[in-house]
Amino acid sequence: SKDWMVVDIHHIERTFKFKNFKEALEFTNKVGALAEEEGHHPDIHLSWGRVKLIIYTHKIDGLSEADFVLAAKVEKLL
Amino acid sequence: SKDWMVVDIHHIERTFKFKNFKEALEFTNKVGALAEEEGHHPDIHLSWGRVKLIIYTHKIDGLSEADFVLAAKVEKLL
């Protein structure tokens, strides 16, 4: 999907496709560097040619503004 | 868990804990390099301080010898 989905009013998620494992791993590292900068870390499901990001705020077990800030910054990595 | 679990006679999985995101990401990269060498790629669920590996053979949608070879080599990364 090219859009973020809101799931169970609990988290947002989006799957990014890549042409191989290497490119998916490179994207994972970019997201990881961004997460460290932001101090806000998504769950990252990396598999061959695919990265699924699941973003929510663990402290409240739900969505907060920081989640959408992170999602917007992820967009800029593409 | 310190052991691999066989789930639904379909895949093996194990969760590795780390003290922060950075170390979990470093382990992800080591597993990624190993996966590229082996030509066999696990699903990698990376989150803060945690990496869960899910290993199976996509072609048969089940377990094969290559899965256990990969698991054994992952052990050596620790």
Band (B10; pLDDT cuts 50, 70, 90): very high
Number of Cα atoms under 13 Å in the Cβ half of residue A32: 25
d(CA A22, CA A50): 10
Q: 3-state SS string over B17-49? A: ECCCHHHHHHHHHHHHHHHHHHCCCCEEEEECC
Chain centroid to CA B30: 10
Mean pLDDT of chain A: 95
Band (B1; pLDDT cuts 50, 70, 90): low
What letter does residue B3 receive in the DSSP assignment? S
d(CA A39, CA A24): 22
**What distance, in Å, lies between the first and last C-alpha atoms of chain A?**
14
Picking from A28, A35, A47, the nearest residue to B41 by CB comes out as A47
Tokens of B78: 């620790």
The CATH number that applies at residue B54 is 3.30.1360.20
**How would DSSP label each residue in A22-55?**
HHHHHHHHHHHHHHHHHT---EEEEETTEEEEEE
- Are A43 and B47 in contact (CB < 8 Å)? yes
Q: Mark out chain A residues that contact chain B at CB-CB < 8 A.
A: 21-22, 25, 28-29, 32, 35-36, 41-48, 58
Domain boundaries, position B34: 5-75
d(CA A58, CA A68): 14
Residue A52: Cβ within 10 Å count: 16
Tens-place pLDDT, residues B20-44: 999 999 999 999 999 999 999 999 9
Band (A1; pLDDT cuts 50, 70, 90): low
Chain B residues with CB under 8 Å of A25 CB are 28-29, 32
Which ipTM was obtained for this model? 0.92
Band (A69; pLDDT cuts 50, 70, 90): very high
What total of structural domains would you count in chain B? Answer: 1
Name B11's Cβ contacts closer than 8 Å, sequence gap at least 6.
Answer: B54, B55, B56, B62, B63, B67
Tens-place pLDDT, residues A7-56: 999 999 999 999 999 999 999 999 999 999 999 999 999 999 999 999 99
